[in-house]
Amino acid sequence: MSTPDATLGARLPHSALTPVFTGLRIGLHTLIVALTLFVIVRASFGVWPLPGVIVALAGLFLGVYAAGGVLARTHSQRWITPVWLTALMILWLALTVLAPDASYIVFPLFFLQLHVLRLRYAIPAVLVSVILAVWALSYHLGWSLGAVLGPLIGAGVAVAIGLGYRALLAEANERQRLIADLLATRAELAATSRQAGTIAERERLAREIHDTVAQGLSSIQLLIHAAERTVTDAAARAHLELARQTAATNLHETRRFIRELTPPALETQSLPGALARLVETATAAAAPSAEKTAVSLHITGDPLPLPMRLEATLLRIAQGSLANVSQHAHATRAEITLSYMPDEIALDVVDNGQGFDVAALTDVGRPDSFGLMAIRQRVEQQGGSFVLESQPAHGTALAVTFPLDEDEIIEPREVGPEAVDAAADADASDADASADTEWEAQE
């Protein structure tokens, strides 16, 4: 149910305009109570016949009006509002028939109708109230220009103010939504920044452990194996074999620890594999919806293992872009292209959706600008370039590129437990082969 309490400011608890709507609500309550009390006072002095009936009707009118606020907090059925407003209008009309002073109550009733009813119902309700007010005044005072113009002018002023109020309320609600979006975007950017720092630190740790501990353990295995070939004492050879097996076990554990430092989405698969999984998930999520978006993935060039911070950034950009396509584009097709080039890597996301004016991207009134702004900031933080092309009704194309240095291209990363075991076995085999070669050279 919608009442003055529910529409005048109650929906904007954190808005700077809340005092304005609170003042309007109090003003409406005060005006209705004051005009009704005026009718009661006049009837008490015997100005009009049947004063007892008039006072009773006026009291009932105020009681029904006050009940509206209570019903709004305890019931949400839509039918309550028209029933409540109809009861008020019937009581007001009965008061007007007995006491023409009650006809002035129609002016706050105009505002009430404009506040609690939808506009397509409020305007006809105001017109009906004008006709009833003109009839009531003419019934008591006879037909006159003032009896007609008074309610008409009052209704016109009420409609103008009511429309202005609706526009103000819509703007206030839009501001609240934008503030909520900005706060959410700020929180997302803060989380992204923390995540980027975490990923960078995890990558650094993984690299340092790989280059020091893992390589050191591999070298230890090599040296122990070479020592085994020079020792003839059986007990000593047994100790050396145990030491080599211990080093191999610790190398295996070290590689597992390096793998666990990898971000979850990239832990068990490469960047192309993670993107393929993302496309599969996006397609499955869109399948039950009315607007199905077919998502495809294309990989060009030879995939290279990249720094984890870069792979994580590309994956997050693809996720954010597909989220924008799903929420705003209304597209039937979207394509993700990951291009490996000698000196750079590029990610393109293209859809055939409704598009938009790129020049208005920075307009805070656009609900779809925050995600794109977050993607742009994510790209700039990693030193990449961001290009966005779109036109209304012609889809959208987003392209990001990141330069690659030779130093940034790393060794292939182990993927999954099986790969870790295979890598450990390969290292052990390499160590054995290297030791054999070295021993033969010494012989």
Is residue 343 situated within a structural domain?
Answer: yes
Q: What is the pLDDT of residues 67-126, one digit of tens each?
A: 877 776 666 667 777 788 888 888 888 888 888 888 888 888 888 888 777 888 888 888
CA–CA dist 244, 250 (Å, integer): 10
179 pLDDT exceeds 60? yes
Please check whether residue 39 is in contact with residue 54, taking contact to mean a CB–CB distance below 8 angstroms: yes
217 pLDDT exceeds 60? yes
Based on its alpha-carbon atoms, the radius of gyration of the chain, rounded to whole angstroms, reads: 38
Average of pLDDT values for 129-154?
77
CA–CA dist 398, 395 (Å, integer): 10
Single-letter amino acid code for the residue at 369: S
**Percent residues over pLDDT 70 in the chain:** 77
Distances (CA, A) of 432 to 245, 253, 278, 367: 12, 20, 41, 62
Distances (CA, A) of 182 to 25, 297, 357: 30, 31, 21
Domain that residue 113 falls in: 4-143
Is residue 286 situated within a structural domain?
Answer: yes
Is residue 108 situated within a structural domain?
Answer: yes
Tell the residue number behind the tokens 């006026």, with chain if given.
58
CA-nearest of 281, 268, 255, 270 to 310 is: 270
Q: What is the pLDDT of residue 82?
A: 79
CA–CA dist 249, 255 (Å, integer): 10
Q: What is the pLDDT of residues 284-322, one digit of tens each?
A: 765 444 467 888 999 999 888 888 778 888 988 898 888
Query: What helix, strand, coil percent values describe the chain, rounded to 5?
Result: 70, 10, 20
CA-nearest of 5, 24, 115 to 71 is: 5
Single-letter amino acid code for the residue at 255: R
Is residue 199 situated within a structural domain?
Answer: no
Average of pLDDT values for 193-220?
75
Last residue of a domain, one of 143, 168, 198: 143
Is residue 246 situated within a structural domain?
Answer: no
The total number of structural domains in the chain stands at 2
Q: What is the pLDDT of residues 387-396, one digit of tens each?
A: 999 888 888 9
Confidence of residue 370 (pLDDT cuts 50, 70, 90): low
CA–CA dist 92, 30 (Å, integer): 17
CA–CA dist 117, 326 (Å, integer): 34
Is residue 240 situated within a structural domain?
Answer: no
413 pLDDT exceeds 50? no
Is residue 28 situated within a structural domain?
Answer: yes
Last residue of a domain, one of 123, 143, 163: 143
| CATH number of the domain to which 349 belongs | 3.30.565.10
Is residue 100 situated within a structural domain?
Answer: yes
Q: pTM of the predicted model, to two decimals?
A: 0.42
Average of pLDDT values for 241-258?
81
> Which tokens go with 400?
């990001």
Last residue of a domain, one of 121, 143, 165: 143
On the 0-12 / 13-18 / 19+ scale of CB atoms within 10 A, 33 is: middle
CA–CA dist 289, 285 (Å, integer): 8
